[in-house]
């Protein structure tokens, strides 16, 4: 009897120790429909949400928590090396200093969103593509951008190097900028950078004023953008991003993320970028270069 009691105590102690050492992962969710749409503080209906669910389902031994934050707070958490990761980040030089990245999807390029009555003022090339540097130099026009949001490494650099700092109004919304199209329609700015599918999503939400908005491709930026899972550049973050990368390799053939992304894209967009999406899907079947996580 004493042996059985002692064995039970030992088993309980071992179980308690195992549970106390279970890795805890906090997933940051952002209000950025239709990419991410948290419901009651948990992953919702967006394709970023689907990626979070896949990671959680394939990591049952970890304790998963969720927190909703805007872009500025998300990157403050990562800079402070909090034990938190985020699904849906673009790379740039500043972000690479504070976070590890591993890719999970590709998206069509950002577009310049303008009011139809402003179209004639936008500098364009012979192909009808907006010329961003010239636009930023125009004193008569002002853009709307979200604080701490990345628009892709190259566009971020052009924006940072602009001669006229007042050319851009930096907005600090509680989300990634879902209300910026409404601000643009209300003449509180002249243009913004956004994905076409996000503008189209908002147009379907019973905002008739958004019908006054249209989009233009940006000259020199026709390539797809790679969106990533990011974790802080710390020992915890290094261990976590390696596990995330392994899960992405394991689940690369499921196609659920690609299907979730494509559910928000137009048929024409899917046709145009199918080869790029196929190529990414093949690359994602292989682990990332370990040197990226050093």
Partners of residue 58 on adjacent β-strands: none
What is the arithmetic mean of pLDDT over 7-14? 41
Q: Pairing state of beta strands 24-29 and 84-89?
A: parallel
What is the arithmetic mean of pLDDT over 97-117? 96
Band (pLDDT 50/70/90 cuts) for residue 148 is confident
Residue 182 and residue 143: Cα distance in Å, rounded?
A: 14
What is the arithmetic mean of pLDDT over 254-262? 87
Q: How many CA atoms lie within 13 A of 104 on its CB side?
A: 30
- Both tokens of residue 71? 């872009």
Domains 23-107+225-293 and 111-217 share a fold: yes
Element (H, E) at 213: strand 213-217
Question: To which CATH superfamily is domain 23-107+225-293 assigned?
Answer: Periplasmic binding protein-like II (3.40.190.10)
- Both tokens of residue 266? 């137009």
pLDDT at 130 over 90: yes
pLDDT at 39 over 70: yes
Q: Domain segments of the chain: what residues?
A: 23-107+225-293, 111-217
Under 8 Å between Cβ of 91 and 226: yes
Q: Pairing state of beta strands 111-115 and 84-89?
A: unpaired
What is the arithmetic mean of pLDDT over 250-266? 89
For the CA atoms of 91, 243, 64, 74, what is the dihedral angle to 10 degrees? -20
Q: Give pTM, 2 decimals.
A: 0.86
Q: Pairing state of beta strands 111-115 and 63-68?
A: unpaired
pLDDT at 97: 96
pLDDT at 255: 80
Under 8 Å between Cβ of 192 and 146: no
Cβ contacts of 167 within 8 Å, gap of 6 or more:
136, 137, 138, 139, 141, 142, 143
What is the arithmetic mean of pLDDT over 141-161? 92
Domain 111-217, CATH class in plain words = alpha beta
pLDDT at 172: 80
Under 8 Å between Cβ of 144 and 180: yes
């Amino acid at each position: 009897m004493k042996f059985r009691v002692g064995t039970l105590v030992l088993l309980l102690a071992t179980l308690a120790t195992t549970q106390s050492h279970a890795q805890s992962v906090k997933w940051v969710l952002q209000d950025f429909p239709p990419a991410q749409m948290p419901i009651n503080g948990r992953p919702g209906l967006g394709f970023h949400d689907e990626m979070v669910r896949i990671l959680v389902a394939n990591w049952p031994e970890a304790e998963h928590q969720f927190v909703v934050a805007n872009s500025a707070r998300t990157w403050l958490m990562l800079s402070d090396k909090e034990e938190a990761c985020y699904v849906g980040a673009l790379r740039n030089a500043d972000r690479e200093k504070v976070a590890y990245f591993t890719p999970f999807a590709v998206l069509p390029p950002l577009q310049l969103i303008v009011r139809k009555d402003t179209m004639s003022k936008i500098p364009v090339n012979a192909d009808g593509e907006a010329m961003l540097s010239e636009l930023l130099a125009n004193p008569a026009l002002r853009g709307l951008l979200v604080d701490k949001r990345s628009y892709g490494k190259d566009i971020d650099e052009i924006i940072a190097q602009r001669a006229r700092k007042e050319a851009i109004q930096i907005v600090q919304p509680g989300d990634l900028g879902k209300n910026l199209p409404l601000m643009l329609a209300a003449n509180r700015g002249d243009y913004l950078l956004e994905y076409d599918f996000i503008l189209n999503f908002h147009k379907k939400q019973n905002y008739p004023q958004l019908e006054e908005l249209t989009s233009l491709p940006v000259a020199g930026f026709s390539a797809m953008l790679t969106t990533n899972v990011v974790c802080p550049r710390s020992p915890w973050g290094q261990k976590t991003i390696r596990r995330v990368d392994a899960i992405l390799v394991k689940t690369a053939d499921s196609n659920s993320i690609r299907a979730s992304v494509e559910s928000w894209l137009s048929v024409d967009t899917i046709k145009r970028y199918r080869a790029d999406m196929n190529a990414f899907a093949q690359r994602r079947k292989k682990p990332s270069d370990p040197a990226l996580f050093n």
